[in-house]
Amino acid sequence: MMKYFKYILVIVPLLILLTFLTVKLYFHYDVPEYYGTQVLEELQDTVEVFTDSYGVPHVFAQNNEDLFYTAGYIIARERLFQLSLLAAVARGEISRILGGGYTEHDDYIKQNKPFSINHGSMSTINSENELLIQAYCSGINSWVDETKGTLPLSFKILNTKPLKWTSLDVINVVSMMTSTLYQNRKAEWFLNTIGQYFGDTKLLEMLDVDTFNQINVEKYFSIDSINKDNLDLENQIWELVGATGSLPQNEVVIIPKEQTAYQKPILIFEDIWGLQQPAKWYDIHLVGGDYNIEGAVIPGFPIPLVGKNDNIAWALLEQLTVENINTLFYIAEGKFNLNQNNIFDMSISYVDTTGFYSDQKEYSQRFKLLQESFADLDKIYINDVVNILSETKNPGKSEIAQRIAKIYLDNNRSNKMSMNMLYEWDGNESVFSSEAFLINIIYTKLLKNLFMDEFSLVGEDVFDIFIRLPILAEQSINMILNNNESSWIDNIKTVSYQEKLIEIVIKSVDEAINEIESDFGENILSWQWDKVHTKIYKHILHNNSIIAKLYNLNVGPFDGYGSNSNLKVSEYNFDNSYNQISGTSLRRIFDLSDMSTSYSILPTGQSGLPKSGHYTDQVKLFNEHSFRKIEFDETVMRNSDQYQKLVLYPAK
């Protein structure tokens, strides 16, 4: 017996070790090389790729076809799983990537086409541009073939294979990812549901006519035309690609040359999207043939939607469809004379080195305030722009806080210290802000006390959808604070009593403070926004918490909006309302007085490979509201030791 026991003591550890090594070997995958040489059969000539310290590739080719082929090849090395998932969602083939649990979602996409994905003919696209799109797909597919033996981790976990790309995938994916219909559709569903249940008169007590019209509520869009189950399906589909952002989706500010120090315009772009990992955007610089373009692309589309060439900087503001793809190619190539050609059939903001600009964006309140900040400066330098963009103030929320505090202080004697503090708050929502902590909890209580009684009659999830549409929620609070007679104020469940606004405000404040003191104590200094507000950039496999933690797929959670100190996990989940689900997915600045550089920041990093050093290397900068410079001057790159050089040769 002792003899067998000795064998067991030897064999069991060996089996455990063998199992560990087998699993480790199976889940091994290669991280791309950024230096050295490589042969690619489909190239016509030599291509050089200079990669900067944040993983941004600068591709130098001798002709257009090699340039776009290499662009597809390079992005596939970093974002292959993301590319396959995007194509699968656009096709209605999610189950091919994520398994049979998504067959219902696939059927829904194919039958209803809810996102207006363009399945039209490629014949609309100029033949030269179509060839470049095909070259881009060939580059992606070359990497798919090359990486069969060492597929990225996500494919192995799911036991699936990457999809080969076609030109139609390029069109459908960029159309899907630039569509604002998701948030519009959710807002339309909410407003139509409330309007049809309570009537438009009551609906217009919670939002103004301009907002109602801006969301473009269609009367034929009835409660029956998309039931709650279908809306849930759409939400789940969009969440796969990170589309959980709030209206508006993107922002552009153009500072005209008259306001800048060097008499050249500055273009600022910011996009709102879900906190997905990897990032929605990818920075790239393409030089060769007819192109010298640098900017941010949607993975799966080769032309920057926010970018520049030698003379122009631009930002697309609408869904990109087959009909306007040619125009974007022409702009990128420099063939479009913006002073002469009419491109107002597509919504795009642009500036050029002469100072000419066209700005077609309706500004949000935040960016109107930014413009006011710029107006206070005599002459604007690029550092002024960076500093102003780093502000964490929310003037809209500050105004609401002041009005709530005034109502409370004028009618109640308790909690005076915290209410005085809130009345004087400047809107700073930094992670250490006690005021941000307090007002956001009061704000949620106030929304519930005003609307939950009516919304619960319509459906149990209606309120949850409402608070995920923050622009509507904030406007509703403003409307009611300005209208003491609003029918939303009265609690319909207290039939024999009609509440007043003062009562609802006092009740909401007292509920919030009592709950805070119960969980965090009475010391106001200990009430900090990061105690309840967290953000986490979730990988598509985040629901499998063991896998996500084992392979560090998720990025975060972080406290609040990030801080200069070590980022930490929030220890307390106060309310789902404070777990951030969307935020800035890209910040870009183009200074036309200095075409040699531009400024960019992604929330996490360039790569979609957890083992890559570029998976999270921009997190600290992003949370500090900083930017990184992207070089545009070829001579500087070739003479610098800050870039890794990869040379791609054609097969001889």
When pLDDT is averaged across residues 387-404 and rounded to a whole number, the result is 83
Structure tokens at 303: 């032309």
Q: Are 407 and 507 part of one and the same domain?
A: yes
Is 507 part of any domain?
yes
| Beta carbons within 8 Å of 8's beta carbon, 6+ residues apart | none
When pLDDT is averaged across residues 335-355 and rounded to a whole number, the result is 74
pLDDT at 3: 60
Residue 568 has pLDDT above 70, yes or no: no
Chain-wide mean pLDDT for the chain? 85
Residue 592 has pLDDT above 60, yes or no: yes
Residue 420 has pLDDT above 50, yes or no: yes
pLDDT at 346: 73
Is 455 part of any domain?
yes
Is 65 part of any domain?
no
When pLDDT is averaged across residues 525-554 and rounded to a whole number, the result is 82
Q: Are 190 and 275 part of one and the same domain?
A: no
Beta bridge partners of 36: 646
Residue 1 has pLDDT above 50, yes or no: yes
Q: How many whole angstroms separate alpha carbon 283 and alpha carbon 294?
A: 8
Q: Are 452 and 513 part of one and the same domain?
A: yes
For residue 592, CA distances in Å to 149, 290, 388 come to: 46, 21, 19
pLDDT at 120: 55
Q: Are 339 and 262 part of one and the same domain?
A: yes
Query: Which of the listed residues 483, 505, 527 is the one where a domain comes to its end?
Result: 527
Residue 495 has pLDDT above 50, yes or no: yes
Residue 275 has pLDDT above 70, yes or no: yes
CA angle 597, 280, 211 (to 5 degrees): 100
Q: Which of 268-272, 297-301, 481-485, 522-526 is the most confident on average?
A: 297-301
When pLDDT is averaged across residues 109-136 and rounded to a whole number, the result is 81
Helix (H) or strand (E) holding 328: helix 322-333
Q: Count the domains in the chain.
A: 3
Q: Are 256 and 206 part of one and the same domain?
A: no
Is 383 part of any domain?
no
Instruction: Kindly report which listed range (39-43, 339-343, 409-413, 526-530) carries the lowest average pLDDT score.
Output: 339-343
Q: How many whole angstroms separate alpha carbon 251 and alpha carbon 584?
A: 10
pLDDT at 243: 83
pLDDT in tens, 164-185: 999 999 999 998 998 866 666 7
Helix (H) or strand (E) holding 586: strand 582-591
Residue 123 has pLDDT above 80, yes or no: no
Q: Which of 450-464, 524-538, 604-618 is the most confident on average?
A: 604-618
Query: Which of the listed residues 506, 527, 548 is the one where a domain comes to its end?
Result: 527
Is the separation of the CB atoms in 465 and 186 below 8 Å?
Answer: yes
pLDDT at 10: 63
pLDDT at 416: 85
Residue 321 DSSP one-character state: -
When pLDDT is averaged across residues 617-625 and rounded to a whole number, the result is 90
Is 549 part of any domain?
no
Q: What are phi and psi of 579, to 5 degrees?
A: -80, 105
**pLDDT-based confidence at 219, cuts 50/70/90?**
very low
Q: How many whole angstroms separate alpha carbon 558 and alpha carbon 530?
A: 8
Q: How many whole angstroms separate alpha carbon 160 and alpha carbon 164?
A: 13
Number of H helices, E strands in the chain: 23, 18
Is 315 part of any domain?
yes
**pLDDT-based confidence at 375, cuts 50/70/90?**
confident
**pLDDT-based confidence at 564, cuts 50/70/90?**
very low
Strands annotated E in 348-402: 348-352, 357-358
Instruction: Kindly report which listed range (10-19, 88-97, 471-480) carries the lowest average pLDDT score.
Output: 10-19
Helix (H) or strand (E) holding 268: strand 266-274
Query: Which of the listed residues 488, 505, 527 is the one where a domain comes to its end?
Result: 527
Q: Are 455 and 521 part of one and the same domain?
A: yes
Q: Are 400 and 469 part of one and the same domain?
A: yes
Instruction: Kindly report which listed range (142-156, 327-341, 402-416, 467-481) carries the lowest average pLDDT score.
Output: 327-341
pLDDT: which is higher, 649 or 218: 649
pLDDT at 190: 84
Residue 624 has pLDDT above 80, yes or no: yes
592 in helix, strand or coil? Answer: coil
Q: Are 402 and 521 part of one and the same domain?
A: yes
Q: What are phi and psi of 158, to 5 degrees?
A: -90, -5
pLDDT at 340: 55
When pLDDT is averaged across residues 544-562 and rounded to a whole number, the result is 70
pLDDT at 12: 64
Q: Are 397 and 502 part of one and the same domain?
A: yes
pLDDT in tens, 47-65: 999 999 999 999 999 999 9
Structure tokens at 90: 């656009």
Closest CA to 505 of 459, 555, 447, 561: 447
Is 124 part of any domain?
no
pLDDT at 295: 98
Closest CA to 616 of 567, 571, 560: 567
Q: How many whole angstroms separate alpha carbon 520 and alpha carbon 528?
A: 10
Q: How many whole angstroms separate alpha carbon 95 and alpha carbon 117?
A: 19
Supply the angle between the helices 103-112 and 228-240 in degrees, to the nearest 10: 100
Instruction: Kindly report which listed range (359-363, 404-408, 568-572) carries the lowest average pLDDT score.
Output: 568-572
Q: Are 228 and 279 part of one and the same domain?
A: no
Is 23 part of any domain?
yes
pLDDT at 343: 58
**pLDDT-based confidence at 292, cuts 50/70/90?**
very high
pLDDT at 66: 98
CA angle 31, 54, 133 (to 5 degrees): 70
Supply the range of the domain harboring residue 19. Answer: 1-30
Structure tokens at 346: 């597509």
Strands annotated E in 478-578: 534-537, 555-559
**pLDDT-based confidence at 102, cuts 50/70/90?**
very high
pLDDT at 195: 86
pLDDT in tens, 359-373: 766 666 666 667 777
Output b/e per residue, 429-440; b: 16+ Cβ within 10 A: bbbebbbbbbbb
Residue 342 has pLDDT above 70, yes or no: no
| Beta carbons within 8 Å of 647's beta carbon, 6+ residues apart | 36, 37, 38, 46, 47, 48, 49
User: What's the alpha-carbon Rg for the chain, to the nearest Å?
Assistant: 27
CATH of the domain at 645: 3.60.20.10
Closest CA to 624 of 563, 574, 581: 563
Burial tier of 139 (Cβ tally within 10 Å: 0-12, 13-18, 19+): buried
Q: Are 349 and 407 part of one and the same domain?
A: no
pLDDT at 293: 98
pLDDT: which is higher, 216 or 484: 484
Q: Are 351 and 450 part of one and the same domain?
A: no
